[in-house]
Amino acid sequence: MEIPRKGRPNTWGVRTPLHFNKATGRRERYWIGREYPTKTAAEKALRKWHTDHDAGKVASRSDMKLGDWLDKWLANHRKEGTTVAGYETKIRLHIKPHIGGVKLSEVTDDTLDDLYRLLETVPCPTNKGKPLGAKSVRHIHNILSGALGAAVPKLIPANPAATAHPPTARQIRAQEQRYPTVDDDQTGRFLGSVWEPCGNRACDGGLAHHCLRDAPLWTVYASTGVRRSEALGMKWSLVKWDEGSIELGWVVVEEGNTYRLRKLTKDGDDNAVIYVDQSVMNVLK
């Protein structure tokens, strides 16, 4: 056991005894800490390491970088393609350039906090030269939390994201934009305008003409409040004409330069169902 006087003046450092590292297949020892204020504190840290090591709570140290672990985690991530694509973009643009080269075993809550504060204050080229908002930084925290949690306990003993300080829900709400909403009269006038034929000689007042082509879609939007992707993903087979209901089983999502139809529910839950009045059903017919 070594407790040499190391680091800054009047501080103590302590190293582990020589032990076998399953991750590297080699015997090793490393510093537990170098700046304990007293010899007693250093000895206490060493006793805790022995206790955790005997209980199997000390992860095998590895030279793997955080960026490499994120790549591996993402490759094995069982999520929808659009979700994985969103994760990959944030990892590539906002995580790897700043802390991707840090060893996985050396990532701490302070490392993550420094990253979050950096993203909140430094102009971001992909965000029109403005820092990222609280919601985006929180999402980056959620990605890191999931990836680091998957490394416990094989590669790291605990998830440092659990004690990090990402933006709070209150900070996110404070940055949310308030959008004006239309009342019933405004909605009625708008729908009246989208159903009004353009008067062109080629227009026969039917849905075949381009001026009225999207009128049923706008009616569904206004009458049901569904998301755009949900309305675009509606299928005739999921419309229950007698019940006046529609199952929301599919959505249209953007992937790169194209669009794809995919299942709405990600976890195998039953489809959501909305009920509409007869006027909407007549529009769909």
| Domain ranges within the chain, ordered by starting residue | 12-54, 66-175, 181-213, 227-285
Q: What is the pLDDT of residue 104?
A: 92
pLDDT over 50 (residue 111): yes
Which pLDDT tens digit goes with each residue over 52-76?
888 877 766 678 999 999 999 999 8
Which band of pLDDT confidence, cut at 50, 70 and 90, is reported for residue 100?
very high
Q: What is the pLDDT of residue 28?
A: 84
Percent with pLDDT over 70 in the chain:
87
Which band of pLDDT confidence, cut at 50, 70 and 90, is reported for residue 4?
low
Q: What is the pLDDT of residue 136?
A: 96
| For the ranges 87-91, 179-183, 195-199, 211-215, the one whose mean pLDDT is highest | 87-91
94 or 208, greater pLDDT: 94
Mean model confidence pLDDT for the chain: 85
Tally of residues, the chain: 285
Which band of pLDDT confidence, cut at 50, 70 and 90, is reported for residue 8?
low
The pTM of this model reads: 0.65
Query: Among 107, 214, 115, which residue's Cα sits nearest to residue 167?
Result: 115
pLDDT over 60 (residue 125): yes
**Stretch 87-101: mean pLDDT, rounded?**
95
**Stretch 175-182: mean pLDDT, rounded?**
86
Which pLDDT tens digit goes with each residue over 196-221?
887 777 676 566 667 788 888 999 99
Q: What is the pLDDT of residue 19?
A: 85
Residue 116 CB burial class (10 angstroms; 0-12, 13-18, ≥19): buried
Which pLDDT tens digit goes with each residue over 137-161?
999 999 999 999 999 877 887 899 9
pLDDT over 60 (residue 5): no
Domain 66-175 falls under CATH 1.10.150.130 = yes
Percent with pLDDT over 90 in the chain:
44
pLDDT over 70 (residue 246): yes
Q: What is the pLDDT of residue 185?
A: 94
